[in-house]
Amino acid sequence: MSAILGVMLATILLGQKQLPDQATAEDEKAAAAERLEFMKRSAAVYQITFGEKETRLKLIAEPVLRWTNPVSNVPDGGLFLWLGPEGRPELAAQVFIAAGSTDLWLHEFQSLSTETMTVARDRRLTWHPQKPGIELKAVEGAPAPAESAVQRLAQMRAIAQNLEAADDFEGKSRWELRLLVKPLHRYGKPKTEILDGALFAFAHGTDPEVFLMIEARGAPGKYNWHYALAPMTSYAVKVSSKGKELWSAPHRQAPFPLDEPYFILKYEP
């Protein structure tokens, strides 16, 4: 056998075998896909209604964000949203593996609604926040919402980029949070109360810690920009603009009250 033929044969045989690094990558890809299916199944177990009319919320089947937090040692998580009849996010939940674990899953809920709501599983009450999760406020000095959807998105991003967010991570250190400039969800409809809206997040790495909702609200022809903020963490967080604090949430610890708009539970299949 010539040297050239030997090299060619070795190359062919090598191509037919799975290298260790390739096997590891494929195994992790399969494991990640399996975890995703588990997240989706676990999010779908809840029956959620909100408001006095007990309107049913609709789950977006796929997570709007897949994230990790290596600082907290959280290897995988997904962010899910439930929408009201008009497509507005009313509830968010993070489904993730507990830090330092491989099989303990937590569900972290935050109301994004101006209404109360009820969350049940198998017809048993799981969580029942008795106050709104957000408070909408006018954006001071903002221009009128633009005519086109593209221009309005640019306006919303400009409003978001004018804010700074930070959290008191694990009660030990202050962390500046980064804005995820791509909205997690976009909603709204012409000639309705909400012309346009978007849900943004300030994140620790890719892990959302603070939600920012921006909406062009009002009557047709009289829309104005509004915003609301909500935590997606039990750690203390605050949001400022040009050095002026606009909003904050305190550090909260378990057990989390069933009637508050933020809640964490251990998920058991």
Q: What is the pLDDT of residue 13?
A: 38
First-to-last CA distance in the chain?
60
How far is residue 44's CA from residue 23's CA, in Å, rounded to a whole number?
32
pTM of this prediction exceeds 0.95? no
Residue 173 pLDDT > 80? no
How far is residue 248's CA from residue 251's CA, in Å, rounded to a whole number?
10
How far is residue 221's CA from residue 39's CA, in Å, rounded to a whole number?
42
Q: What is the pLDDT of residue 111?
A: 98
Average per-residue pLDDT in the chain? Answer: 91
Phi and psi torsions of 10, nearest 5° = -60, -40
DSSP element (H, E) containing 25: helix 20-43
Q: Per-residue pLDDT averaged across 189-196, rounded? A: 96
Which tokens belong to 7? 């090299």
Residue 3 pLDDT > 50? no
Band (9; pLDDT cuts 50, 70, 90): very low
Q: What is the pLDDT of residue 104?
A: 93
Q: Per-residue pLDDT averaged across 114-140, rounded? A: 96
Residue type, 108: E
Which tokens belong to 251? 């550090």
> Between residues 8 and 88, which one has the greater pLDDT?
88
Residue type, 189: K
